[in-house]
Amino acid sequence: MKFRAAVLALSPLAACSSMGSHEMSVQRVAATPEVYATVQLTADISELSAKQKEMIPLLIEASTHMDEVFWKQAVGERKAFLDGIEDPTLKRFAEINYGPWDRLDGNAPFIEGVGAKPEGANFYPHDISKDEFEAHLAANPQDTEAFKSLYTVIERNEQGELIAVPYSQAYPSETKAAAKLLMQAAKLAQDPGLRKYLALRSEALLSDEYKASDMAWMDMKSNGIDIVIGPIESYEDRLYGTKAAHEAYVLIKDKSWSDRLARYTKFLPELQRGLPVPDAYKQEMPGSDADLNAYDVVYYAGDCNSGSKTIAINLPNDEDVQLARGTRRLQLKNAMRAKYDEILVHIADELIDPSQRAHITFDAFFGNTMFHEVAHGLGVKKTLKDGGNVRQSLAEHASALEEGKADILGLYMVTQLFAKNEIPQGELMDNYVTFLAGIFRSVRFGASSAHGRANMVRFNFFQEMGAFEHNAETGTYAVNPEKMGAAVEALSRKILTIQGDGDYAAAGELLADMGVIGDELQADLDRLAAAGIPVDIVFEQGAEVLGL
C-alpha cells in the first residue's frame, strides 16, 4: 500500500468563521492551513479472482449513488451546490465537508452569507421545532412509527402538514440505480453468503426493510470482499439522532490480520459479566455470532466520507439483530495506518512526555480502535425503566454517549485482557499512552462529531481523576497508570448507568459539563496546528487507483 502525503490549504474565509468560544469547538487558525492529509487508498488485489475484480467497480459505482443521496441529506443536490462556488479552494473544501459547514470546526460556515447548519440537516423541514414534531405525534399517534423511523424523511405537504416519506420514495433514482448494481454484483459473487447479502441489500434499498439483509451480512464468514451500503449511522441528524444517513464502504479482507483478531470474540460474555456496574445493567448478553476482522478499505462514500474518516466499523445498528446475533467489527487497517503515520505519531511528538513516547505504537493504536468497536456490543441496548431502546431514550445525546461508552469500555477490556495475559503484543502502558494521544487526535474533530464530543468528556473526566499529569512548562502530558485504571472504571460505570437508566437529563448534563475545551488544552491544540499537523485525511480513491 502506498501513501502520498499532501495537504489541503484552507481558505481564509474558513479560517475567520470559527466559533467565538472553546465550548465544543476547535478553532481554526489562519496561519496554519494544513487540515487534511491526502492519502492514496490502495490495497493488494493480486489474490482476488477475476470475478472479484469485476465486482469491485460495480460496488464502487453503487457507492457513488449513496454519495449523491448523502449530499441531498446534508445540504442539497451536489452539482447545483458546487457549481455555485467559484473559488476552487472553497469548492474543494465544500466537497470534503459535503456542504458549506466545516465538520472539523463545530460545523462553522466557511462561505460568506451561509447561516448555521440545520440541526436536522435535510431530514426535516428547516423551520420545524421539536414542539411541532411532538405535537403532531400527540395528535396523530398512528404516525409515530413512520415519523421516528430511521428510514424516512419528514416533509411538509401542500397544506403545510408534516408527513413521513420513505427513503426509497425520497431518493428513487439513486436507490434504484444502486439496487441494480448490487444485483449485478450478486450474480458475480462466488461466495454464497456474499451473494445472498448483496441480493437482499438490493431489495432493502427498494423496500426500506433492512433487517433481513443485516442478518445475511452477519452470516458472511468466508467472503474475501465486502460492502457496507445504505442508510447506516444517525450522526447527521442532530435534532433527534434518529434518521440514518446513506454511506458505503468497499472492502477487501486482510486474512492474516483477521486470523490474529478472531480469538478475542470468545471473551465477550465474560467481559460483559465483569462490567463495573450492578448486575441489572449487564443482563443482556452479546450474540455468539459476533466476529472481528481486518480489512483494507478501497472506497468511502457518503456519510463516512464527510469530514473525519471512519477507521473501524461495528454493525449492524439494529438492536434486535445485535441481541440475537451480535455484531461484526471491521478494522480498516490501511486507513488506520494512514492516520497513525500522518497524524498520531506527530501529535505524540508534540504533546506526550518524552519519557513515555516509546509507548506510542501502531499495535496499541490498532488494539484500542479494535476494542472500541468490540465494546459497542457490551452494556445495555434496552433501558431498565421500560425496556425501550437506549438510542430513543437519549435522543440527540445517544451517539456521543455510545461513542464514549465504546472508547472507555474498550480500554477497560484491554486492561482486563492484559491482566489475563491474553494480549501477546506490547504492554498495558502502550495502550494507555497511545489512548491519551488518541484523545488529542479525536478532540480536534470538534463539536459536530459524536466521537469528538465523547473525547472532550473523557479528557476532562480523566483530568479530574488525575489519570494524567500536565507539565505546564513543556505543554506535555504523562499517564499515571494507577489512576488511569481507576478513572477508566469510574467513567465506564457512569456512562453505562446513564444508558441503562435511559436518563436523558443526565446525558445532557454530562455532555454540557464535560464537553468543553479549556484554555490550557486549547493552547496545546493550537500548537498542533502551528506545527502543521493535519487534523484528518482525505482520499484519492476508486477503480483507477486500484488499477481496475
Q: For the chain, 548 residues long, give each residue's pLDDT as a single digit of tens.
A: 332 233 333 333 332 322 233 333 333 332 223 589 999 999 999 999 999 999 999 999 999 999 999 999 999 999 999 999 998 888 888 999 999 998 888 888 988 888 999 999 999 999 999 999 999 999 999 999 999 999 999 999 999 999 999 999 999 999 999 999 999 999 999 999 999 999 999 999 999 999 999 999 998 988 999 999 999 999 899 999 999 999 999 999 998 888 877 777 778 788 888 888 998 888 887 655 567 889 999 999 999 999 889 998 889 988 888 878 878 889 999 999 999 999 999 999 999 999 999 999 999 999 898 888 778 878 888 898 888 888 889 988 888 899 889 889 999 989 999 998 988 889 999 999 999 999 999 888 765 566 777 888 999 999 999 999 999 899 999 999 999 999 999 999 999 999 999 999 999 999 988 888 888 888 888 899 888 899 999 999 999 999 99
Three-class SS state of 136 = helix
From the list 302, 514, 249, the residue with the least C-alpha distance to 400 is 514
In a domain, 534, yes or no: yes
In a domain, 1, yes or no: no
In a domain, 367, yes or no: yes
Query: Domain range for residue 306?
Result: 7-546
Backbone angles phi, psi at 203, to 5 degrees: -65, -40
C-alpha cell at 154: 419528514
pLDDT of residue 78: 97
CA atoms within 13 Å, Cβ hemisphere of 6: 11
Q: Is 47 exposed, middle or buried (0-12, 13-18, 19+ CB in 10 A)?
A: exposed
CA atoms within 13 Å, Cβ hemisphere of 232: 23
Distance CA 39, CA 540 (A): 6
Per-residue buried b or exposed e for 385-423, using 16+ beta carbons within 10 Å of the residue's own CB = eeeebbbbbbbbbbbbbbbbbbbbbbbbbbbbbbeeeeb
68-69-74 Cα angle (round to 5): 100
Backbone angles phi, psi at 378, to 5 degrees: -95, 170
In a domain, 346, yes or no: yes
Q: Could you give the number of structural domains in the chain? A: 1
pLDDT of residue 449: 63
What is the sign, positive or negative, of the torsion defined by CA atoms of 467, 434, 396, 208? Answer: negative
From the list 340, 393, 341, the residue with the least C-alpha distance to 368 is 340
In a domain, 441, yes or no: yes
For 270, 279, 368, the CA distances from 285, given in Å and listed in that order, are 9, 12, 22
For 107, 505, 518, the CA distances from 509, given in Å and listed in that order, are 22, 6, 17
In a domain, 2, yes or no: no
Three-class SS state of 349 = helix
pLDDT of residue 488: 93
DSSP state of 343: I
C-alpha cell at 492: 465506564
Q: Is 212 exposed, middle or buried (0-12, 13-18, 19+ CB in 10 A)?
A: middle
Q: Are 343 and 34 in contact (CB under 8 A)?
A: no
In a domain, 396, yes or no: yes
What element of type H or E holds 248?
Answer: strand 246-254
pLDDT of residue 25: 33
Distance CA 529, CA 161 (A): 47
What element of type H or E holds 36?
Answer: strand 34-40
In a domain, 298, yes or no: yes
Amino acid identity, residue 97? N
Amino acid identity, residue 243? K
Contact partners, residue 305, CB within 8 Å, separation at least 6: 67, 98, 247, 539
